Amino acid sequence: MNKLKFAVIGCGRISGNHIKAILDNFEDVELISVCDILKDRAEFKADEYLIKAQEKNIPAIRPNVYSDYREMLQKEDINVYVICTESGYHAEVSLYCLNLKKHVLVEKPMAMSLLDADRMIQTAQKNNVKLAVCYQNRFNPPIQKLRQAIDEGRFGQIFAGTARILWNRNKEYYYKAKWRGTWKLDGGCLINQCTHNIDLLQWMIGSKIDSIYGQTENYLHPYIQTEDYGSIIIKFKNGAIGNIEGTVCVYPKNLEETLTILGEKGTVVIGGVALNKILVWDFEDRQETLEKVQKEYDSEIENVYGNGNTPLYKDFIDSIRNNSAPLIDGKEGKKSLSIILMAYNSQKYSRAISYNKDLNISSEDFEGML
Ligand SMILES: NC(=O)c1ccc[n+]([C@@H]2O[C@H](COP(=O)([O-])OP(=O)(O)OC[C@H]3O[C@@H](n4cnc5c(N)ncnc54)[C@H](O)[C@@H]3O)[C@@H](O)[C@H]2O)c1
Minimum-distance ligand 1 atom for the alpha carbon of 179: 19
Q: Which amino acid is at 340?
A: I
pLDDT in the model for residue 357: 55
CB distance 256 to 139 below 8 Å: no
Smallest CA separation from ligand 1 atom 38, residue: 12
pLDDT in the model for residue 356: 66
- Lining ligand 1 with CB less than 6 A are 9-14, 35-38, 41, 69, 84-87, 89, 93, 107-108, 134, 136, 177, 192, 305
Describe the strand order of the beta sheet including 29-35 as a list of residue ranges.
64-66, 29-35, 4-9, 80-83, 103-107, 131-134
- Give pLDDT < 70 ranges for the chain: 356-360
Query: Strand ranges (DSSP E) for the chain?
Result: 4-9, 29-35, 64-66, 80-83, 103-107, 131-134, 158-166, 209-217, 229-236, 241-247, 256-263, 266-271, 277-283, 353-354
Smallest CA separation from ligand 1 atom 20, residue: 12
pLDDT in the model for residue 359: 64
φ, ψ dihedrals at 56, nearest 5°: -100, 10
Q: Distance between CA atoms of 184 and 182, rounded to whole angstroms?
A: 6
CA of 21 to the centre of ligand 1 (A): 16
Query: Strand ranges (DSSP E) for 12-91?
Result: 29-35, 64-66, 80-83
Q: Distance between CA atoms of 130 and 326, rounded to whole angstroms?
A: 8
Q: Which of 9, 94, 107 for mutating ligand 1's site (highest number of atoms within 8 Å of CB)?
A: 107
* CB-facing half-sphere around the CA of 320: CA atoms within 13 A: 26
b/e code 180-217 from CB counts within 10 Å (16+ = b): bbbbbbbbbbbbbbbbbbbbbbbbbbebebbbbbbebe
Q: What is the pTM of this model?
A: 0.97
Smallest CA separation from ligand 1 atom 18, residue: 12
pLDDT in the model for residue 367: 77
C-alpha dihedral (202, 207, 213, 215), degrees to nearest 10: 0
Minimum-distance ligand 1 atom for the alpha carbon of 67: 33
Please write the tens of the pLDDT for every residue from 260-296.
999 999 999 999 999 999 999 999 999 999 999 999 9
pLDDT in the model for residue 360: 66
Smallest CA separation from ligand 1 atom 15, residue: 13
CB distance 23 to 51 below 8 Å: no
